[in-house]
Amino acid sequence: MLERAKIENRVDDTEEVIENRFQEYREKTVPVANFYKEKGIYYPIDGMGGMDNVFDQLTSAIEKTHEESKKNFIIMGAPGAGKGTQCKRLAEKYGLVFVPTGSMIRDEIESGSLLGQHAVSYIEKGDIVPDEIAIKLIERRLKEHPNAKGFIFKGFPRTIVQAYILDGLLLKHNSKTTTVINLEVPTLESIRRLSKRGKTFNKRPYDKDTDIIIRRLERHETFTSKVVDFYERQGKHNEIDGTDSEDLVFAKMCKIFDKHMI
């Protein structure tokens, strides 16, 4: 810094000022480095090498963090939009962990757990279950897969509050939402698909009642528009026509995944 003062005539490169700046660094900046060390996202670089050597070290560290960063996708869409089918295919293709909140809640109900007992009355009416139930299940899934390349979330978030909650959960795991895909399907098509599913082995408790189907679609419309706006403001929202064939929808979704999985 003293040598720099001779070349650039900088008034802040005197010995007294330099010492004060180092004192500030020791007291205020070093604790910041320790904060990131504790989070496991600190990369020390030897600054004593030549410029090219230091640059190579920085580049290597950046590439490493890029490789280690999880890719988290949220798949949205009205009930009957085909989210579950597509999510399973995408999770298998890209080696991601599928987090189907609705299925996880149904598993809890079938097992008779306390969470399941709490959720059953909401599910039967087609209502959104209390946030604390979904949060516990999602956090459990995240903890079960600490080395996952990333996650695909379906069924959560459905409200703007849940969107903020998910951001917080991912932040706790040093991660964030990568992008969001919304499968757009007209209301009448959703009703047709859900009614048809209600006659199959894969039927849900709420598929057999048209009134409950309509109730679910109305609730989806009421709450989800705000979630879409939330992600649109972040530049993370993608819209796909969910009425196309299953394979065509999958191909379109893969194009979006490919951009982020590089």
Query: What one-character-per-residue DSSP string does 186-242 give?
Result: -HHHHHHHHHHHTTSTT--TTTT-HHHHHHHHHHHHHHHHHHHHHHHHTT-EEEEET
| Alpha-carbon span 71 to 261, nearest angstrom | 7
- Give me the pLDDT at residue 216, please: 81
HSE-CB at 17 with a 13 A cutoff on CA atoms is: 8
182 CB neighbour count, 10 Å cutoff = 22
Burial status of residue 77 (CB atoms within 10 A of its CB: 0-12, 13-18, 19 or more): buried
Quote the pTM value.
0.70
Q: Dihedrals φ, ψ of 154, to 5°?
A: -130, 135
Which domains, ranges and CATH numbers included, belong to the chain? 16-66 (no CATH), 70-261 (3.40.50.300)
Q: What is the mean pLDDT of each run of 10 residues along the chain (262 residues)?
A: 82 84 91 84 86 88 70 93 94 96 91 91 79 93 91 93 93 89 92 85 75 82 87 94 95 96 78
Q: Dihedrals φ, ψ of 181, to 5°?
A: -120, 125
